[in-house]
């Protein structure tokens, strides 16, 4: 945990690659603190008209400017915990967050989690994951840690430009508020410390 923890804990940003456990951690924090949880995928993409429950692979990428407007509105909304893999347009959330948790787990862990999650989702009758989606995300998970740092233009054009090197540069202005977790033990420890901190406030 950063040494200069915020005096309050009302805005938490969780960032990391596919399969790093972002949403699981965000839901745990959101339910226990409590505070509203926002998946940034749902900010960055819109469902087809009239089909809010459509599989996510049918959702459309919204323009970068719209994403920034939504991020600004969310950052100013008071209490929240948000999770995603996005750098660039999420700067308002980075700047507003009391604490930023970077889930930087190894590819062997995240790739296995993606595959396991997809299989479980399909087994329960879900429609978000088809074979193409699983293969695409699994490949992206393996390359996430080695992908070159992206330019602003690349981030605006494609979400696959996001990666660990890009995220590291993006978080540099907020280093004093970043808790970087490289394994599951550190994630559990950070969760425990955050919950303990919240009880003291």
pLDDT in tens, 143-155: 899 999 999 999 9
Is the pLDDT at 159 greater than 80, yes or no?
Answer: yes
- Answer yes or no: are the C-beta atoms of 172 and 102 closer than 8 Å: no
Q: How many helices (H) and strands (E) does the chain have?
A: 9, 7
Is the pLDDT at 7 greater than 60, yes or no?
Answer: no
* Residue 180, token pair as written in the block: 């970087």
pTM of the model: 0.88
Query: d(Cα 79, Cα 13) in Å, to the nearest integer?
Result: 11
- Answer yes or no: are the C-beta atoms of 22 and 14 closer than 8 Å: yes
Kindly report the average pLDDT of the chain as a whole number: 88
* 177 bridge partner residues: none
Predicted local confidence at residue 6, as pLDDT: 42
pLDDT tens digits, 15-33: 999 889 999 999 999 999 8
Please give the average per-residue pLDDT across 73-97, as a whole number.
Answer: 97
In CATH, 11-105+150-200 is 3.40.50.300:
yes
């Amino acid at each position: 945990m950063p040494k200069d923890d915020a005096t309050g804990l009302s805005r938490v940003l969780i960032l990391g690659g596919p399969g790093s456990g972002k949403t699981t951690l965000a839901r745990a924090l959101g339910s226990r603190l409590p505070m509203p949880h926002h998946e940034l995928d749902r900010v960055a993409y819109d469902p087809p008209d009239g089909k809010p429950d459509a599989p996510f692979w049918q959702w459309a990428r919204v323009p970068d400017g719209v994403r920034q407007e939504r991020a600004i509105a969310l950052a100013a909304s008071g209490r929240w915990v948000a999770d995603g893999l996005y750098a660039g347009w999420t700067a308002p959330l980075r700047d507003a967050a009391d604490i930023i948790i970077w889930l930087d787990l190894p590819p062997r862990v995240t790739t296995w989690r993606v595959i396991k999650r997809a299989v479980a989702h399909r087994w329960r009758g879900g429609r978000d994951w088809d074979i193409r989606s699983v293969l695409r995300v699994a490949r992206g998970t393996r390359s996430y840690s080695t992908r070159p740092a992206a330019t602003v233009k690349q981030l605006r054009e494609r979400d696959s430009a996001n990666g660990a090197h890009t995220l590291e540069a993006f978080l540099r202005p907020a280093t004093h508020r970043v808790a970087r977790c490289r394994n599951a033990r550190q994630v559990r420890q950070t969760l425990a410390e955050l919950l303990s901190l919240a009880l003291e406030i």
